[in-house]
A and B are shown apart, each in its own frame.
Chain A
Amino acid sequence: MIRLEKRPNASKAWSYSTPLLAVLLTMIFGGLLFAALGKDPIAAIRTIFYDPLLGQHAFFYRPQLLVKAAPLILIAIGLSLGFRAGIWNIGAEGQYIIGALCGAGVGLAFYPTESFIIFPLMVLAGALGGWAWAMIPAVLKTRFGTNEILVSLMLVYVAENLLRGMAVGLMKNPEGFGFPGSRNLAQYPSATSWISQNAGLHWGVAFALIAVIFAYILLTRHMLGFNIRLAGQAPRAARFSGVNPTRLVLFCLGTSGALAGLAGLFEVSGPAGQITTDFNVGYGFTAIIVAFLGRLHPVGILLAGLLMALTYIGGEIAQSQLQLPAAAIQLFQGMLLFFLLAVDLLTNYRIRLKQGAAA
């Protein structure tokens, strides 16, 4: 019999080593899965984890890694603040869309003027758009006690419809031969977020790194970060300490909304280039996984975002080169999350083997 015993203190060693253990377990069981599918498991694991980083064509994949990881990290950092405080913003996808629409709207309105001020204005509009969209569940929660999970999630579908309307209506490219979709902002020098397309660098990558650093300082050194953690772990103690719950809700939802909005703007003015009906690809939802995979810690999220991007890109390579089915790759990614959550238990519990009849 196996029994779990709660540790008096969370184990530091385990909290650092569980993610590695999870990756290792995923490789082993993923390898078994691939072997069962009749593929060489070593080659498959190599293709997914090694080739994008250090393989023959890594120069091509590495920039993609940054492009994929940046929005995930940026959104996940914002979400992690709220999650730590027990405020559940599930609607980052919607805030991402609205941020993109607002930012792109500003850029398109200036077209074809060239000025250094256009991009900063778009950034501002993108952040404000995401912030405003997140303020809807925030204000409803603080005013009327509605559930932010439901409201933020439902607003994703509203945002998606708004996106479709914009792509075929107001923001449609007048020179686009009637196809849905806006002008391509990546080809509009004053409005593009690209710094160097070859290196995979756009302003979103820079902002993601800055967000990681700021979140780290906020959570470890600043009173606001302390209050966020306190409110999440012990709401009554937070009230006793003097934390204002209303302000905390507004801050957490607002910040995560603004960061998601920024991610949307950087995406639409760079890698995606234009507002299309299906411009959003689910970064807002994947970021929830990234936030938990990184155990809500800024540095963890940075690594988790990169790992997630790696499995996406490596998975695509494996599909094209080894003809692995897409479902197998998704299963593989699911395994990663599953193992991480499972071995996470070891941080707070130890496993005891129970002696049988001897006791």
Chain B
Amino acid sequence: MSELFAGQGLRKAYPGVVANDNVSFSIDEGEIHALLGENGAGKSTLVKMIYGLVKPDEGQMSFLGAPFAPPEPRAARAAGVAMVFQHFSLFDALTVAENVALGMENPPKPARLAARITEVSNEYGLPLDPHRTVGDLSAGERQRVEIIRCLLQDPRLLIMDEPTSVLTPQEVEILFATLQKLRAEGTSILYISHKLEEIRALCDRATILRLGKVVGHAVPRENSAAELAEMMVGSALHRPERELTPSGDIALEVSNLSVKSANPFGTSLKDVSLMVRKGEVLGIGGVAGNGQDELLAALSGEATSAPDTVKMHGNPIGKLAPPARRKLGLLSAPEERLGHAAAPEMSLTENALLSARLRKKLTNRDFINWKATQAYAEEVIAAFDVRTPGPHVAARSLSGGNLQKFVMGREIEQKPEVLVVNQPTWGVDASAAAAIRQALLDLAADGAAIVVISQDLDELMEISTSFAALNGGRLSAPVPVEGLTMERIGLMLGGAHDMEVAHEHAEAPA
């Protein structure tokens, strides 16, 4: 098989860090090539070089045998490189076809484009109606919009950044079938993921990065997930231990909670009830956009409800605002790190103040004790191995995984009695994710009640004692995790009764 892309001695340095150093690797035609590495290993920078978003300081790239140095993404796209980003760039209020047209150089007439979208979506088994409004689509369907947008350019190389993090097991299967079909047609795919089992199932070769350097090449099928993880981390991966014995005391109780979403495209909560005992970890699964943000807001206090709908240790707290709930020991960490859990332009010290003020007594009569605040930020940085020059840097300058560690650490170090987290390890590398999960389990072992909202089912199975699924704003009755099968979970996620319909919809041509 001939070589499609090759990078030789690529280097990119930012002030203070070398993101890539002497990176060489190649992708063959019709190959699914995995890029493996911890957060901050330099995967994103490498991919951005190929896509023309970043220019290498040193080194050469070649594409189809010719020297390749795209000055901007447009040039990369013209050469045949397409990319599906981890975070979608779609407009909720526009239709699928309108969104696709926005990303094109010379969009065809709307009717023609819609026909093309339907054609491509049928060809690759990605059911998608071009006339639907993106705001109404699930995360999996949104991803299909991005993929189809790429496929319309007939790319030679398709780059996918963490594509399965927002998908249900069923949707992952559909995606894999599509990628395999593309491979059979000769399209190469550069696949970035932390999920080692996925890479073993799908990818032909893997390049493993650590701290900006290539530490090895592997054929994933011939290595176990543990071996790959060791190459990636450089040491044996620590798996969280779980020895939880929920006591009888109910820490958090939600009964018949209905909250209207603050977002016009959000999902309102409908009649949600749950109960978490001390020492228990309740895992809440579900595909993105089924009420996760709303549930977190209702528990954190950002959205208030009738007093009796949310109770902590038997006391009604539904009407209380976030600070009052924090005082009682109910802490939370939202999914969106930049702009919600943390203020991007503010320093880590200031971001420590944001939610730790009351429990860490960082203010005296509303006057801020900056010394104590900085000390707390440093404590979190040390305890959670946040890689940063210091607490004075702006939150936005941290990589996603590092900021996530800081945000999680900020809440966990406050020793909450009840902790609600949404996507606690989203975008975090395997070893850091393991550390965060271990910290959550330790917290539960000390008697805290924990609610973990996550789209990563493996994560939920690993740390939860009980499991419930969120679907269309409704929460299924929690069941013990012991003895739960993937099939059963899949049914719960689909809302059980309408699961059949959803599946049919996925199979039928749109």
Contacts and interface: CB of A to CB of B under 8 A. Distances in A.
A222 B339 contact: no
A221 B367 contact: yes
A245 to B, nearest CB: 11
A8 B393 contact: yes
A223 B357 contact: yes
B118 interface: no
A28 interface: no
A8 B15 contact: yes
Given A8-B15, A221-B367, A240 B302 contact: yes
B323 interface: yes
B367 A239 contact: no
Band of interface residues on A: 20 to 34
Interface stretch (A62-70, A228-236, A299-307): A228-236
B421 to A, nearest CB: 13
Interface stretch (B37-45, B91-99, B192-200, B345-353): B345-353
Contact of A242 (B69, B71, B301, B370): B301
Contacts of A226: 350, 353, 368
A220 B353 CA distance: 13
B321 interface: yes
A335 to B, nearest CB: 29
Interface string B308-349: 000000000000011100100000101010011111111000
Contact of A230 (B301, B336, B343): B343
Contact of A240 (B55, B341, B367, B393): B341
Contacts of A241: 322-323, 354-355
Contacts of B22: none
B346 A221 contact: no
B15 A221 contact: no
B346 A230 contact: yes
Contacts of A239: 302, 322
A237 B393 CA distance: 18
A213 B368 CA distance: 17
B356 to A, nearest CB: 10
Given A222-B368, A244-B321, A230 B354 contact: yes
A171 B274 CA distance: 67
Nearest to A241: B354
Interface string A198-231: 0000000000000000000000011110100110
B368 A240 contact: no
B368 A221 contact: yes
Contacts of B341: 237, 240
A8 B397 contact: yes
Interface string B471-510: 0000000000000000000000000000000000000000
A240 B297 CA distance: 8
Contacts of A238: 343
Contact of B346 (A223, A229, A240): A229
A359 B71 contact: yes
A111 B170 CA distance: 85
Given A223-B366, A230-B346, A240 B340 contact: yes
B55 A9 contact: no
Contacts of B178: none
Contacts of B393: 8-9
A10 interface: yes
Nearest to B394: A9
Interface band, chain B: 35 or more
Nearest to B355: A241
Contact of A233 (B14, B344, B370): B344
| Max chain B C-beta neighbours (<10 A), residue from A239, A240, A241 | A240
Contacts of B350: 226
Contacts of B353: 226
Nearest to A238: B343
B62 interface: no
Given A9-B397, A359-B71, A233 B343 contact: yes
A222 B343 contact: no
Nearest to B373: A226
Interface in A1-38: 8-10
Contact of B367 (A223, A234, A236): A223
Contacts of B340: 234, 236-237, 240
Contacts of B363: 223
Contacts of B332: 240
B66 to A, nearest CB: 15
Nearest to A350: B15
B366 A240 contact: no
Given A8-B394, A9-B393, A9-B394, A237 B354 contact: yes
A222 B353 CA distance: 12
B126 to A, nearest CB: 32
B300 interface: yes
A10 B345 contact: yes
Interface string A26-63: 00000000000000000000000000000000000000
Given A223-B368, A226-B353, A244-B321, A234 B339 contact: yes
A10 B394 contact: yes
Contacts of B326: 242
A221 B71 CA distance: 46
A238 to B, nearest CB: 8
A237 B342 contact: yes
A10 B347 CA distance: 11
Contacts of A222: 366-368
Interface string B50-67: 000001000000000000
Nearest to B322: A242
A242 B368 contact: no
Contacts of B346: 229-230, 233-234
B9 to A, nearest CB: 16
A242 B343 contact: no
B283 to A, nearest CB: 22
B261 to A, nearest CB: 14
Interface string B390-424: 00011011000000000000000000000000000
Contacts of B14: 8
B331 to A, nearest CB: 11
Contacts of A221: 367-368, 370
Contacts of B336: 236
Contacts of A233: 343-346
B339 A236 contact: yes
A240 B298 CA distance: 11
A81 to B, nearest CB: 16
13 contacts: A8-B396, A10-B345, A222-B366, A222-B368, A223-B366, A226-B350, A226-B353, A230-B343, A233-B345, A234-B339, A237-B342, A238-B343, A240-B355
Given A226-B353, A240-B332, 19 more contacts: A8-B14, A8-B15, A8-B397, A10-B394, A222-B366, A222-B367, A222-B368, A223-B367, A229-B346, A230-B354, A234-B345, A236-B339, A239-B322, A240-B334, A241-B323, A241-B355, A242-B301, A242-B326, A359-B71
Interface of B: 14-15, 55, 69, 71, 300-302, 321-323, 326, 332, 334, 336, 339-346, 350, 353-355, 357, 363, 366-368, 370, 393-394, 396-397
Pairs A-B, 5 closest by C-beta atoms: A242-B323, A8-B397, A234-B343, A242-B322, A223-B366
